[in-house]
Structure 1
Amino acid sequence: MGKTNKIVASLAATTAMAAAIAPAATADAKDFSDVSDRYVDAVNFLLEQEATNGYSETQFGTQMSIKRLDAAILLANVLGLDTEEVDESGFTDVPERGQGAVSALKAAGITNGKSETSFGSQDEITRGELAIWIQKGFGLKGVEQLPFTDVTDRYEDAVEALLSNDVTSGMTEDEFGTYATAKRGDYAIFLKKAYDMMDEQEGKFELSVMHTNDTHGHIENIAQKKTAIDDYRQYHPEALLVDAGDVFSGTLYFQEFLGQADLEFMNKLGYDAMTFGNHEFDLGKSENGHQALADFVNNADFPFVAANVDFSGDSLFDEMNNGDEIASTPEDGEIYGGIVTEVDGEKVGIFGLTTVETPDISSPVDIAFEDYIAEAKKMVQSFEDQGIDKVVALTHLGYNDNVDYDNDVALAENVEGIDVIVGGHSHTELAPRVVGDEEPTVLVQTGEYSDNLGTLEVEFDENGVVTSYAGELVELDGLEEDAWFASKLAPYTKQVESIKNEEIGVSSDVVLNGVREDVRTGETNLGNLIADGMLAKAQSINPDTAIALTNGGGIRASIDEGPVTLGEVLTVMPFGNALGIMNLTGAEIEEALEHSVEMAPEASGAFLHVAGMKFEYDSSQPAGERIVNVQVETEDGYTPLEADMNYDVASNLFTIQGGDGYTTFEKAYEENRVSEPGFMDYEIFVEYLKSQGDTISPETEGRITDVAGE
């Protein structure tokens, strides 16, 4: 049960009891000379609740502003909050008559005041502030698209909720009046309508979910994640905790501990289920095959769901693989198509899907991947046959990824009966989005690398149809660390730090130039090496890849001559950018190259280093008209770039998603013309350096030439 609905559930009973035992009201709205027909019902409601006696014997104060203190007292009275046995708020500006109400609202999570010590008791409250209080106090949620132009991010969820629940329609068609001073009469209407919504909650059910995806071995902030999870569970004790895949690959934590460090913390955090990402299958061609994955599953204190993954071809999974079975009592460390879990007395079905692109971008070997739409339909039908009408899909498909393979939007559009899709793979920061109207599907995803904890509350009607939702991405950076988790992380971190000084087995006879000014203005031997490695990796996945591009802003240091250490590599590329492969026209490539050199000869982080091509530009010409000649490398040598020809081009996802101003690439990404194998840049670079022999002596090759002045 969610924080706000937990409050509503307990308060509804308390308030109903208070109304039942209250003596007959001694006042009536008609006794007030300023109460027009519009306000009669709302004012009578407050009088019946004994929440107020009006502003005076003859005036309710309908058109008067209301101070924060008085608004707090009214709300606490209507909600039936315990204003006596409650911890003091700590605010120093609250008079005695309102101390209980303000403390109760703070304890319920409805308001935190203006600061740690000030509530702002005598400040006039705005309509936006009231919207937040009412949303939190009554646990309202909404899916309405706001028509208002004056609602900022802070107030968006609250105003959405009020609009969706017919608590208000705003001051005008396009203005809610967020910063307008609230009137006592309007507040009375808000309270009456919100209170009435409690009667409509009968038969409804709320599912709360915490979710993660694409953590890729990033456990350095696991102690902050514990804090975020504990905080959410304080108000949502029945919340599920699930992961949408790609725990494997990406950091030295994974390289050293093969997922077992991550798993220790996942077990302690109490995950309820996980599906597999493509990177869980990266080690299939290694000496030990999928042993690390089998150990990960076997040691987990939670089940795995994988409706479209066939493990029967790999004997390592024989003892834990249950095929497409749906388990009503799932065992930890077992793989099922789906599972059934009970939440607050309601049965919820959970199933998993993994992208069918996996064989192209990872190494599953004898593990097969089946059509995601067909398998999803089977799962939903199986749940429905059991009378389960609340269904969650844990997917590693990508939000709006290349539909030639699969994605979450297509899943929602083509499979009826999925209520929530907790996704991964595309590394998208996706606060709740909805597909469909009559029976909507809510889609979420947290981004990447454990930057955020996703939270979601979804309300269902008695027929199992989603009626409202709310959620957010809780940023972990800056949160207080859980002390116990921090102490458990320390030994892992110490071991990881020690291996940064290890040599990778390659020595350079020359300095690999990553000087900031150099990599942002022209070709360098280090830029070439990075692009070459990216191209080689992309071609191992997609042999048609012809070109690789990497932004100079992503090259952060040089590497001295002599043995190359892992620490040096991580200093050069500290961001953990993943590989992507775009399909671009020659015209789009030239457009991107124009952007690359538009600041030349001034330095720019957007300056591209290239492999598989070379180009000339004239920095003396106007920006946008500088590219003179572009040649693409083929088996027969270099040939001119053709504007209307399509090319597969590798780059990092930062650049592909529009980083450094690459709107051309961003457009391709939004149009699903990008494949995301996801291998980390530093891993790709180390792998490429090792492939070049024990000693390297790279030089610049004339790949990029400024012809100005020639």
Structure 2
Amino acid sequence: MKTITRLFRSAALPSKKLAAASLAVMVACTFASADALSGAAHKKHNNDFTLTILHNNDGESSLLPFEIDGVEYGGIGQFKTMVDKLRFQAKRQRQGVLLLNSGDNFLAGTTFQASREAGAPFYDALGIRLLRYDALAIGNHEFDFGPDVFNEFIEGVNSGWRDVPFVSANLDYSDDVNLSMKVGDELVSSTVIRERGHWIGVVGLTTPTLPAISSPVTVKVLDNLAEIAQAEIDRLSYWGVKHIILVSHLQGLASEIALVSELKNVDVVIGGGGDEILGDVGTDFFPGDEDDIFGSYPQVATDAQGKAVPVVTTPGNYKYVGRLVVNFNKKGEVTSWDVDDSGIQLVTGLHPNFLAKKFIEEPVAAFIDALAANIIGTSEVALDCERAEVRGVESNCGNLMADSLFAAASKRAADFGLPQPDVAFQNGGGIRGEIDQPAGPFSEADTFRLAPFSNFVSLATDVPAETFRQIVEEGSVRLPASGDGGFIQASGFSYVIDTSFPARVTEADGTEVAAGQRVRSLVLDNGTVVVANGVAADMTLTVVSNDFSLNGGDGYPALSFTRLGVSYQQALSDFISIDLGGVISAADYPVGGEGRITIQ
């Protein structure tokens, strides 16, 4: 893979629609005003250079503010106001200032559906452009709709008056027609930015688990992260870049902390994907976050030379702006970070930026309101759709969604010359929303919230029973702990897991090293025994799921399959409104499920 470093520069490209053009012109004026204000300040500390790093991650299309007890939090409008405030404060003190992002900048759901309906540039791209990031890391959700939609997102971000580099040193785009054309300009391994006379290098990394949890398709992902990152750091150091920041999306801050121990000459690490809450006494938290603190801000890791390296992240959804104030000596070494001025800043109590509110929040809210007004049914029972439930135990929410796949395939299989399904499964990671669905009206917006991805109902024939057993085994590897997106919600069968038996073991690329032995029993609804005492019968099954799962997503064995021409969101909507007659009954979907899954 060719390594590309780019010197940050501005470029003007034609906008794609009137709102985008208005944003570009007005943002340019804002940028010029901020620069003019930066001259009138006093120097803080006796250091050679002080750099304020503003950062966030996992925005995940949470563009609208949300209200708790009459108080609004988050939203792209308030977030923009907070960034402008902190940026101005740093410039007033004659500090360098950067705004960096650690990936996952959009996510399937009702908000992103508004973007898909309106067309590019997506509302998330408009928000990114408005915020004027200096560099963006690349997360897993950027590929949830495949490389083509990510390409559209990049073009939307960079269709204004300046280009923003997307940094990742371990992604290879050479086999993708569109993305390969952006390599060296918009897609780079690292970028170099000049602030107050100092060159600052920014290196990016993306999680090696990308193929298992998203859909990069032709984009290759390299997994030797330490070697790749160090080579890029060394290259920048050779060119005389003294200050180096790693922005990475490794799905959990523990991964970034562990990586630092293998690196040298990196000054700051900004992680993404884990949503860890870092804070101390005096930190203002979003309601409830104070009960889930990961540790202090910043975390401190030790590099390969014994040097302390600050490692930071923020919770996602535009609820916080991270601020790390770092002091450097003339050699470019970190001498300290300002504890009083550093930390996560809660986004609340601010007047939303006019442009963000007018061109992003208002049209997105109107679209979602229309979806919410379309009631497709009612539920007699609360549906347990929380992340820990759908990713670790049987839930009535999971049962409902798995049943909708089974029903959709049953109605369409003959049209494709395919047999009727024996089983259907829904991966826990494909069930979003992450809150319980209360009893009462069920809207079209609710179906998008629970089933937001562009996944299609798909059917695989002649699947050996042992292969299907290993699919279910893959869903149990983290048990008894919950949280695995591969956990299987079942329809048409029931199964028993015994966590005292060995779990399935695979290589990073999904190659099976050792078959799992935790599935002790698996029985079809018609009484056919597929697995007994941990041994699969000599038989084949017709299996239904979404195309992501059947294609080897979440580490499952990959199958040959046929897409049946309906999304899993539409399958859920049709199942509720037509198959169930608009009523999700407590008898059919009791809280906690009906015994389809037993975990011992």
Residue 236 of structure 2 is matched in structure 1 by: 383
Residue 436 of structure 1 is matched in structure 2 by: 302
Matched, 1:513 2:361: no
Contact 1:210/1:453 (8 A) holds in 2: yes
Matches of 2:183 and 2:450, distance apart in 1: 42
Matches of 1:224 and 1:363, distance apart in 2: 32
Matches of 2:192 and 2:385, distance apart in 1: 57
Query: What pairs up with 1:265-414 in 2 under 5 angstroms?
Result: 265-284=127-146, 290-296=150-156, 298-299=158-159, 301=162, 302-322=164-184, 334-370=186-222, 371-400=224-253, 407-414=255-262
Matched, 1:478 2:349: yes
Contact 1:534/1:548 (8 A) holds in 2: no
| Aligned residue type for 2:302 | G
Shift of 1:610: 7.8
Matches of 2:521 and 2:277, distance apart in 1: 35
**What SS does the corresponding residue of 1:296 show, helix, strand or coil?**
helix
How has the CA–CA distance of structure 1 residues 299 and 552 changed in structure 2, closer, same or farther, with 3 Å as cutoff? closer
Query: What pairs up with 1:75-154 in 2 under 5 angstroms?
Result: none
- For structure 1, the 5+ residue unaligned runs are 1-136, 140-197, 323-330, 402-406, 537-542, 575-580, 593-607, 617-629, 643-673, 676-682, 706-710
Matches of 1:694 and 1:584, distance apart in 2: 35
Shift of 1:613: 4.9
Matched, 1:242 2:100: yes
Matches of 2:532 and 2:433, distance apart in 1: 25
The answer to which of 253-262 and 270-279 deviates more is 253-262
Matches of 2:450 and 2:181, distance apart in 1: 43
Residue 679 of structure 1 is matched in structure 2 by: none
TM-score in terms of structure 2 length: 0.57
Please identify the structure whose Cα radius of gyration is greater: 1
Matches of 1:693 and 1:320, distance apart in 2: 43
Contact 1:515/1:556 (8 A) holds in 2: yes
Residue 211 of structure 1 is matched in structure 2 by: 55
Shift of 1:267: 1.8
Residue 230 of structure 1 is matched in structure 2 by: 84
Residue 686 of structure 1 is matched in structure 2 by: 569
**What SS does the corresponding residue of 1:236 show, helix, strand or coil?**
helix
**What SS does the corresponding residue of 2:130 show, helix, strand or coil?**
helix
Q: Select the structure that is richer in helix.
A: 1
How has the CA–CA distance of structure 1 residues 632 and 686 changed in structure 2, closer, same or farther, with 3 Å as cutoff? farther
| Aligned residue type for 1:558 | A
How has the CA–CA distance of structure 1 residues 380 and 535 changed in structure 2, closer, same or farther, with 3 Å as cutoff? farther
Matches of 1:274 and 1:553, distance apart in 2: 26
Q: Select the structure that is richer in strand.
A: 2
Matches of 1:360 and 1:413, distance apart in 2: 26
Matches of 1:552 and 1:362, distance apart in 2: 18
Contact 1:350/1:392 (8 A) holds in 2: yes
Contact 2:328/2:335 (8 A) holds in 1: yes
Matches of 1:686 and 1:546, distance apart in 2: 12
Matches of 1:458 and 1:518, distance apart in 2: 41
Shift of 1:569: 3.7
1:561-620 deviation per Cα after TM superposition (whole angstroms, max 9, x unaligned): xxx64234478899xxxxxx975576x37xx8xxxxxxxxxxxxxxx998775789xxxx
**What SS does the corresponding residue of 2:272 show, helix, strand or coil?**
coil
**What SS does the corresponding residue of 2:313 show, helix, strand or coil?**
strand
RCO higher in structure (CA 8 A, sep ≥6): 2
Contact 1:453/1:474 (8 A) holds in 2: yes
How has the CA–CA distance of structure 1 residues 572 and 513 changed in structure 2, closer, same or farther, with 3 Å as cutoff? farther
How has the CA–CA distance of structure 1 residues 284 and 517 changed in structure 2, closer, same or farther, with 3 Å as cutoff? closer
1:141-173 deviation per Cα after TM superposition (whole angstroms, max 9, x unaligned): xxxxxxxxxxxxxxxxxxxxxxxxxxxxxxxxx
Residue 315 of structure 2 is matched in structure 1 by: 447
Contact 2:314/2:320 (8 A) holds in 1: yes
Matches of 2:257 and 2:123, distance apart in 1: 33
| Aligned residue type for 2:152 | A
Matches of 2:346 and 2:374, distance apart in 1: 35
1:201-246 deviation per Cα after TM superposition (whole angstroms, max 9, x unaligned): 35x3222111111101111111111221122122202310111111
TM-score in terms of structure 1 length: 0.49
How has the CA–CA distance of structure 1 residues 694 and 569 changed in structure 2, closer, same or farther, with 3 Å as cutoff? closer
Contact 1:547/1:613 (8 A) holds in 2: no
Shift of 1:367: 1.1
Contact 1:516/1:557 (8 A) holds in 2: yes
The answer to which of 435-444 and 269-278 deviates more is 435-444
How has the CA–CA distance of structure 1 residues 318 and 450 changed in structure 2, closer, same or farther, with 3 Å as cutoff? same
| Aligned residue type for 1:529 | L
1:24-76 deviation per Cα after TM superposition (whole angstroms, max 9, x unaligned): xxxxxxxxxxxxxxxxxxxxxxxxxxxxxxxxxxxxxxxxxxxxxxxxxxxxx
Matched, 1:566 2:440: no
RMSD: 4.6
Shift of 1:473: 0.9
Matched, 1:633 2:522: yes
Shift of 1:641: 9.5
| Aligned residue type for 1:513 | E
Contact 2:313/2:322 (8 A) holds in 1: yes
Shift of 1:639: 5.6
Shift of 1:558: 3.3
Contact 1:439/1:466 (8 A) holds in 2: no
Shift of 1:441: 1.7
Residue 335 of structure 2 is matched in structure 1 by: 467
**What SS does the corresponding residue of 2:261 show, helix, strand or coil?**
helix
How has the CA–CA distance of structure 1 residues 609 and 414 changed in structure 2, closer, same or farther, with 3 Å as cutoff? same
Matches of 1:551 and 1:247, distance apart in 2: 16
Shift of 1:257: 1.3
- For structure 2, the 5+ residue unaligned runs are 1-41, 65-74, 279-296, 408-422, 453-473, 483-487, 498-518, 536-553, 556-565, 596-600
Matched, 1:488 2:359: yes
Residue 35 of structure 2 is matched in structure 1 by: none
Residue 425 of structure 1 is matched in structure 2 by: 273
Shift of 1:691: 8.7
Contact 1:294/1:317 (8 A) holds in 2: no
Matches of 2:384 and 2:176, distance apart in 1: 51
Shift of 1:455: 0.8
**What SS does the corresponding residue of 1:425 show, helix, strand or coil?**
coil
Query: What pairs up with 1:51-70 in 2 under 5 angstroms?
Result: none
How has the CA–CA distance of structure 1 residues 247 and 632 changed in structure 2, closer, same or farther, with 3 Å as cutoff? farther
Residue 655 of structure 1 is matched in structure 2 by: none
Matches of 2:201 and 2:579, distance apart in 1: 55
How has the CA–CA distance of structure 1 residues 546 and 298 changed in structure 2, closer, same or farther, with 3 Å as cutoff? closer
Contact 1:212/1:242 (8 A) holds in 2: yes
How has the CA–CA distance of structure 1 residues 291 and 533 changed in structure 2, closer, same or farther, with 3 Å as cutoff? farther
Contact 1:284/1:363 (8 A) holds in 2: yes
